[in-house]
A and B are shown apart, each in its own frame.
Chain A
Amino acid sequence: MIEQVADPLPQAGYAKVVLELDVNNHPGVMSHICNLFARRAFNVEGILCMPVSDGKRSRIWLLVFEDQRLEQMVRQLEKLEDVLNVRRHGAEHEVFERLEGFFH
């Protein structure tokens, strides 16, 4: 019998990319976003979330690998009701670099 074997999903070796999300700020938003990445087996390397301006919105920064499924993940993110928009930045974006001091 031929078993259903999914292709392995190597992520090391891919370039990193930074995603910037504007989201509604309420207690469930982080779980919607983290859950989406987890259940679609897409690794998140880093995550940062803070409320912005009047506290009705938050900004979330995600550090992820740019593998062939990134486009699919962005489309899935854009479907979430609480995600208002998604912007892509290259790995050169400094948001996570500036935080590195806290992780050493």
Chain B
Amino acid sequence: MKASSHSSRVSSSKKRMDLRNWTGGIVNVLMTMYALVTLYPLLWLFMSAFKTNEQFFSRPFQFPTDWQWENFTRAWEVSDMGLAMFNSVIVTIVSLVLSLVIGALAAYVLSRFQFRFKLFFMGLFLLGMLIPIHSTLVPLFILMNKVHLLNTYWALILPYVAFELPIAIFITQAYMNTFPKDIEEAAAIDGTGYWGIFARIMLPLSLPALSTVAILAFLRFWNEFSFALVFISKPALKTLPLSLSMFATGYMTDYKLTMAALSLSVIPTIIVYLIFQKHIMQGMVAGAVKG
């Protein structure tokens, strides 16, 4: 009696284990399918970039029969992508450096000093994260027009930095708040001034937070579209997303070239994502949750 009840319990728990393995397996299959569906548009993009126009719509789901590598060189030339990349690199790097330096400096002040209106300033910066960027397009256009900055790199760099500052300050300040006070006190006794403490102690120590800020800012500046659309009309100054959007409208029916151009533009961001995905996920979430 005792033995049989024991064995039945064993077999029922074994059954439950089986069931759990089964459902676990099904869940894994479903998750894999979801991931593949998510990745599919991108796979399709890369596959189509190697095809001929004819194969693009006659065999959309198959691999190309012969790989048209020259699509990429053609797309690079026809879309003038070298120039667009150059513009994007300049705008991104200058905006990035300015956001990091200005943001870290403000974060240091807000994290380490007590002064009047400090809470007011912090609230003001926080407010910036709630403001929809598009609602400033019209007044910024009027402003840029008045100060004759339309169709210059600065028309992009200055608003990019301004809109990135709240997140940069928020992430860096939160990180600096965790440093013990003794570090600076020791430096102050040695006669190091505030600028010295900032440059030689706070900046290097904040490197992890700053790298998160930098990666997020890179992605945002590199991909930004609406400011470029409104502030830049000179072909020589077009950034990558803007020039791609123009190219895609102009060459709408030359599918292989459009696909090749899109693939080329996506490669840098994918590489950055593959290297820094942990930073990117955590940073985007932290940046999103702040409000």
Partners in one complex: no
